[in-house]
Structure 1
Amino acid sequence: MTAFQDSTVTDRSIGAILADLRHLSADQVEKIVRHQRDKGVRFGEAAVALGFASNDDVMFALAQQFHYPYAAEDQRKANPELVALNQPFGVQAESFRAIRSQVMMRLFNEGQDRRAIAVVSPDSGDGKTFFAANLAVVLAQLGGRTLLVDADLRHPRQHAVFGVANQAGLSGILSGRAESKVIQQVPGVPSLFVLPVGTTPPNPLELVERPAFGLLMRELLTKFDHVVVDTPAACYGSDSAVIAARCGAALVVARKNQGRVTSLQDLVANLSETPAKVAGVVFNEF
């Protein structure tokens, strides 16, 4: 499946998408068409009025028409943290789109060097993994090839968030073991890919400090439009600062009303001593 489409809108009609989604019979489709004609409404409105579809079904069909990744109803329970994919028209998703706009303006101006974005946080439980996952989703929704790298070699979770295999991944690459097919496409999002950790290593800091990690980041930036990197919380060591330095940019996530100000200040101060550009600090209210 290609990451880009030749046209903005698919040729399939709302009716065809809804019929497939809800397994509508020919008789049901005919009733909807008749109601549509009699009431002068659109097919989706008629289907909802007759109880053959929900408003959510119609939004899903519209998203399919415009190639806008939107998780089907049966996929949302499996990946509840992916709010930008499960409820792309909700308040939380809109917040991620606003952050995406700020990131694009601050890090991707014309003429600037390409950078990966390390998502860092002072403490465990700040919502860093949740944030990195949804930032990757909204970047992918722009249409460009987007890669989410799970570089939290201490407590990896991105494979569970996206429901992808974790037998092989970043740790194998950095330890010099030749592994194939470690980058996996996210089902239903043609332009989003995940590189999981694989086996959790006993020496996480040493692995990211090796030249191989920096070389890998540079190579990935030639193959993807956006690279988002999840990191261990700073309370576990200096991994996040090292990773941010190799990525070239960092976004700091802290949990509102729970995180300690001193921990946040220390993290930002440490990042300022690296080559990484700090794009901003995000306060997680959820």
Structure 2
Amino acid sequence: MSAKPAAASLHDRSIGDIIRDARNLSAAEVEKVLAYQRDKGLRFGEAAVALGLASEDDVLSALAQQFHYPLATAERRVSSPELVTLNQPFSVQAEAMRAMRSQITMRWNNDATLARHGLAVISPQTGDGKTFFAANLAVALAQLGGRTLLVDADLRGPRQHEVFCIPNAVGLSTVLSGRAEGHVIQAVEGVTSLFVLPGGPIPPNPLELIERPAFGLLMRELCAKFDHVVVDTAAGSLGADACMVAARCGAALVLTRKDASKVDDLQDLVASLSGSSVQLVGAILNEH
């Protein structure tokens, strides 16, 4: 008696099979798509979209399922528009984030000491794009499969809870002030290996909280528990917060904005790190 072949896993199925099942296409509709595909020299998904039997979202969802790639739900794309690496994983912007991820991970892999550090994203001014960049970098790192934590250490104006649509009643500020109860690190829905520690309520003494030994101890503990720790920071123009966070992380990435950042401000920010042991991983020019 011959054994029945094992059912194909979701990742072994073709794009056409996934779209057919998702849209509940009839045999006649599938044959219509196949005929149009052969006639026009298109992929199945392109042909189905052209015939109005599937949407672009259906094709993206099928690709994400086949290649085991996190993709935001329609609700997430509306509520978290800044998460381009999750909302539009095959877009030009997402590909640029993956390219930067590759550069960063290569530096981590070539330097064993960097692998034990958190990565602080710093910039001279508000509006440079730190929150956007840190959030999307964290998503890109998590898409590799390693446990990734995004920490919002901008205690003057935290925004990561808004980007990811998570509660902010407790967070880093409540941990450092000794008032945190329960779980403060929150899992991100749809990305199994991504977690966020929000900033929490804005404190009256943000710099003092970051300068306390508790923050350094916390960062060491987090870096030991997660494969990657990305830390958002306050703008350099608002005080010494960013430099202190970078010192506690051990590594920093400098972000500047095209036609907005001033060379003097950038030089001052980098110079403020010169007396510390912070390793500068690189610099990013935000063109948006």
TM-score (norm 2): 0.88
Correspondence for 1:35: 32
Correspondence for 1:164: 166
Matched, 1:134 2:131: no
Q: How do residues 8-87 of structure 1 correspond to structure 2 at under 5 angstroms? A: 10=11, 14=15, 17-18=18-19, 24-25=23-24, 28-36=25-33, 38=35, 44-87=45-88
Q: Deviations over 1:153-193 (max 9, x none)?
A: 00000000111111111111111124222111111111111
Match of residue 237, structure 1, among 209, 220, 239: 239
Q: Secondary structure at the match of 1:272?
A: coil
* 1:35 positional shift: 2.8
Distance 2:10 2:27 in 1: 25
Is the 8 Å Cα contact of residues 255 and 285 (structure 2) preserved in structure 1?
yes
What residue identity is the alignment partner of 1:165?
P
Is the 8 Å Cα contact of residues 9 and 66 (structure 1) preserved in structure 2?
no
What residue identity is the alignment partner of 2:255?
V
Matched, 1:275 2:274: no
Correspondence for 1:107: 108
Is the 8 Å Cα contact of residues 33 and 43 (structure 1) preserved in structure 2?
no
Is the 8 Å Cα contact of residues 32 and 46 (structure 1) preserved in structure 2?
no
After superposition, the Cα gap between the structure-2 partners of 1:140 and 1:9, relative to the gap in structure 1 and judged at 3 Å, is: farther
What residue identity is the alignment partner of 2:181?
E
Correspondence for 2:99: 98
What residue identity is the alignment partner of 1:127?
G
Unaligned runs of 5+ in 2: 1-8
Correspondence for 2:151: 149
Q: Deviations over 1:89-130 (max 9, x none)?
A: 222112111111111122333633511000001001111111
Matched, 1:187 2:189: yes
Distance 2:21 2:139 in 1: 25
Correspondence for 2:4: none
Distance 1:111 1:119 in 2: 20
Matched, 1:265 2:262: no
Q: Deviations over 1:203-224 (max 9, x none)?
A: 1001111111111111111211
TM-score (norm 1): 0.88
Q: Secondary structure at the match of 1:76?
A: helix
Distance 2:72 2:236 in 1: 32
**Root mean square deviation, CA, Å:** 2.1
Is the 8 Å Cα contact of residues 125 and 261 (structure 2) preserved in structure 1?
yes
Distance 1:245 1:46 in 2: 54
Deviates more, 1:270-279 or 1:149-158: 270-279
Unaligned runs of 5+ in 1: 1-7
* 1:37 positional shift: 5.3
Q: Which has the larger radius of gyration?
A: 2
Is the 8 Å Cα contact of residues 84 and 138 (structure 1) preserved in structure 2?
yes
Is the 8 Å Cα contact of residues 136 and 192 (structure 1) preserved in structure 2?
yes
* 1:246 positional shift: 0.5
What residue identity is the alignment partner of 2:84?
V
What residue identity is the alignment partner of 1:94?
E
What residue identity is the alignment partner of 1:223?
K
Q: Deviations over 1:228-259 (max 9, x none)?
A: 00000011100000000000100011111111
Correspondence for 1:220: 222
After superposition, the Cα gap between the structure-2 partners of 1:11 and 1:184, relative to the gap in structure 1 and judged at 3 Å, is: farther
